[in-house]
A = this chain, B = another copy of it.
Amino acid sequence: MLKNRSLIDPMDFTTEELEDIFKLANLIIENPKEYKHICDGKILATLFYEPSTRTRLSFETAMMRLGGNVVGFSEPNSSSVSKGESLADTVRVVSNYADIIALRHPLEGAAKVASMYATVPVINAGDGGHQHPTQTLTDLLTIKCEKGSFNNLTIGLCGDLKFGRTVHSLIKAMSRYKNNKLVFISPKELKIPHYLIEDYLDKNNIEYRSEEDLENAIPDLDILYMTRIQKERFDDIDEYNRLKDVYVLNNEKLKNAKKDMVILHPLPRVNEIDPEVDSDNRAKYFKQAEYGMYVRMALMAKLLGVM
């Protein structure tokens, strides 16, 4: 049962529970009108202690498309934080006003604390560099809808694999499915942390390999998940200059990719995907944002217990 639960960590739900959410998301996608009143009278509070427009708008439109309403704030200035109130007290008060809370906070663990004091479900909409579980649900629903399955896939993860939290969460999530192969494409400065390999991949017998060159890696891939590489992550500026173009996806690099490969990106992108790729029908990163709204609709409907 997902009713009245909170979602703090991407691994909080079993694969069966996730399956329930994805099934509902699919039903909503197929027939949105059927679901446009299931949250009538419900209120979502979006408590964003740091700005994140895309995530906030996705949550808010998701609730509205189910018939519910939204209140909240989008920046810490307008919050009671400035008056010294604890997060625990804030969520207790807001629990009286709203039926569900989406919390974004710069501190790791803030969503966990909030869920301990709130009397309504709390969804972690990002806590520092820590967790962002609805991004992981978005990625999974996109894979499910675009590839039909969570199994037998070769998935390339490209860019900053050291610090990128969405990539870490996706690796953990995919480690629960079968017969997938992961290809880690990154400069050596930004390699995947060893604990992920040990605790998730080796433990579950997930095949993986590392590549430094995106073009070399592409031909095998069913999915290419791009992320941003930031200049400031490099110790050696020459190394950055040598590598910076290697990780920019463009039409040239896509020449040897499979015809049905799917290109994903959590957005916002800066320059790691050339805009010329946008018109390639393998580019699914804007569609991915749409799936993000649908998966949040399904998630909130489940946590509120209306479906």
Q: Chain A interface (Cβ within 8 Å of chain B)?
A: 33, 36, 41, 43, 45, 48, 51-54, 57-58, 60-61, 64-65, 69-75, 77-80, 82-85, 88-90, 92-94, 96-98, 267-270, 275, 286-287, 289-290, 293
Given contacts A73-B74, A78-B74, A78-B75, contact A84 B268 (CB under 8 A): yes
On whether the beta carbons of B70 and A71 are closer than 8 Å, the reply is yes
* Copies of this chain, whole number: 3
| Shortest CB distance A265–B (Å) | 10
Find the B residue at minimum CB distance from A45. B57
Task: Give the docked Cα–Cα distance between A44 and B269 (Å).
Answer: 24
Find the B residue at minimum CB distance from A289. B93
Q: Chain B residues near A269 (CB, 8 Å)?
A: 85, 89
Contact of A267 among B82, B89, B289 (CB under 8 A): B89
Q: Chain B residues near A33 (CB, 8 Å)?
A: 41
Q: A45-B57, A84-B268, A89-B269 are in contact. List 5 more A-B contacts (CB 8 A).
A: A33-B41, A43-B61, A61-B97, A80-B268, A97-B293
Task: Give the docked Cα–Cα distance between A72 and B74 (Å).
Answer: 10
| Shortest CB distance A74–B (Å) | 4
Pairs of residues from A and B, 3 with the lowest C-beta to C-beta distance, nearest first: A85-B268, A96-B290, A61-B97
Q: Chain B residues near A52 (CB, 8 Å)?
A: 80
Q: Chain B residues near A289 (CB, 8 Å)?
A: 93, 96-97
Contact of A94 among B43, B48, B57, B65 (CB under 8 A): B57
Find the B residue at minimum CB distance from A52. B80
Find the B residue at minimum CB distance from A48. B78
Q: Chain B residues near A287 (CB, 8 Å)?
A: 96
| Shortest CB distance A104–B (Å) | 11
On whether the beta carbons of B71 and A43 are closer than 8 Å, the reply is no
On whether the beta carbons of A41 and B65 are closer than 8 Å, the reply is yes
Q: Chain B residues near A85 (CB, 8 Å)?
A: 267-270
| Shortest CB distance A297–B (Å) | 11
Find the B residue at minimum CB distance from A60. B71
Task: Give the docked Cα–Cα distance between A287 and B79 (Å).
Answer: 20
Q: Chain B residues near A57 (CB, 8 Å)?
A: 45, 71-72, 94, 97-98
Find the B residue at minimum CB distance from A79. B53
| Shortest CB distance A269–B (Å) | 7
Task: Give the docked Cα–Cα distance between A251 and B64 (Å).
Answer: 44
On whether the beta carbons of A64 and B43 are closer than 8 Å, the reply is yes
Q: Chain B residues near A60 (CB, 8 Å)?
A: 71
Task: Give the docked Cα–Cα distance between A92 and B285 (Å).
Answer: 10
Q: Chain B residues near A74 (CB, 8 Å)?
A: 73, 78
Find the B residue at minimum CB distance from A291. B96
